[in-house]
Structure 1
Amino acid sequence: MSRRQARETAVQVLFAMDLGKIEFEEAFNHVTDEFAISPRAKDFSKELIQGTIQKLPELDAIIKQLSRGWNFERLSYVDRNIMRLALYEIYHREEIPPAVSVNEAVELAKIYSGEEGGRFINGILGRVVASPEKFRRVQPPVGT
């Protein structure tokens, strides 16, 4: 199984859901029907997406705290969803080393967002990896 392929699929689905405001099943079926993905990668991708969706308020609160000077809604959809996925892995997938999550996020950003996106994402995620407990305690604002 290619975990990179699964992560790429996960980012594409999260992006489609965020930009198109469509439901998980529709976005997942569209992306996985469009691109050839192995059954194991498809299963792993689905786990990542569902976990990210479940923890979205927590993940977005961390991104908002760390991206001071940037309006969260103005972050690119791609960058936002790559960071969401990586943060989910860092905090909720203990079998994945944080350095792997960061590296994969930066590589995805280079493909889908460009060098600037990769540097921005590396900076945000690097701060999290350096002090994970500091940001774990970030609570989403009420009503978000």
Structure 2
Amino acid sequence: MSRPPRAPRVQSRQAALQALYAVDVARRGAEEPLEPLAVEEALAELAAHFELPEGAREYARELAVGVARHRDAIDAQLVAHSTNWRIERMAVVDRNVLRLAIYEMGWLGLPPSVAIDEAVELARRFGADPSPAFVNGVLDAVAHSFAGRARAWETT
């Protein structure tokens, strides 16, 4: 029995996560910038090896490059809402799942419930056993801080 095809947005998020992960582990430290060009190159390499439809490829690029461009603001949200966790101490998968979800909520306007559900699924698939609960907790706090604002960069 063959597996049903995954939804394009799910494929996009997975590809974006894998590209961000590849670039993140290649850096010398968590504070070093995520270069948009390096992220695009990693994503192009992934797309060449996996069957990623064009629409999914475009959204993956939007996600991965968007996270790279807004990493400082996104990481500020992580620092503010991940009590007792420094970014560099987070699992690489977890911090990049969180970055993707924060970008989708705060910059693309994805409803928090959708962003959180999708992020928890990514954490379940690619992270360790405690990853889904950790991701859910941090993103719930971030979502509450975004409440009443259309975008993350707007002030209340």
- TM beyond 0.5: yes
- 1:66-95 CA-partner distances (Å, limit 9, x unpaired): 12212221101100000001000010112x
Structure 2 residues not aligned, in runs of 5+? 1-6, 28-34
Structure 1 residues not aligned, in runs of 5+? 138-144
Q: Answer whether contact 2:24 2:92 (CA < 8 A) is retained.
A: yes
The percentage of counterpart residues that share the same residue type is 34
| Structure showing the higher helix proportion among its residues | 1
Deviation at 1:34, TM superposition (A): 1.8
Match of residue 142 from structure 1: none
Q: CA RMSD in A?
A: 1.9
Runs (4+) of structure 1 exceeding 3 A deviation are none
Kindly indicate whether residue 129 of structure 2 is the aligned counterpart of residue 115 of structure 1: yes
TM-score by length of 2: 0.80
Instruction: Name the SS of the counterpart of 1:115 in structure 2.
Output: coil
Deviation at 1:130, TM superposition (A): 2.1
Match of residue 53 from structure 1: 68
Kindly indicate whether residue 141 of structure 2 is the aligned counterpart of residue 127 of structure 1: yes
Deviation at 1:60, TM superposition (A): 0.6
Q: 1:68 aligns with which of 77, 83, 86?
A: 83
Match of residue 141 from structure 1: none
Distance 1:25 1:48 in 2: 10
Q: 2:96 aligns with which of 61, 81, 89?
A: 81
Deviation at 1:2, TM superposition (A): 1.3
- 1:82-133 CA-partner distances (Å, limit 9, x unpaired): 0001000010112x22211110000000011133101000000011112315
Q: What are the within-5 Å matches in structure 2 for residues 3-82 of structure 1?
A: 3-21=9-27, 23-82=38-97
Instruction: Name the SS of the counterpart of 1:37 in structure 2.
Output: coil
Match of residue 32 from structure 2: none
Distance 1:24 1:72 in 2: 19
TM-score by length of 1: 0.86
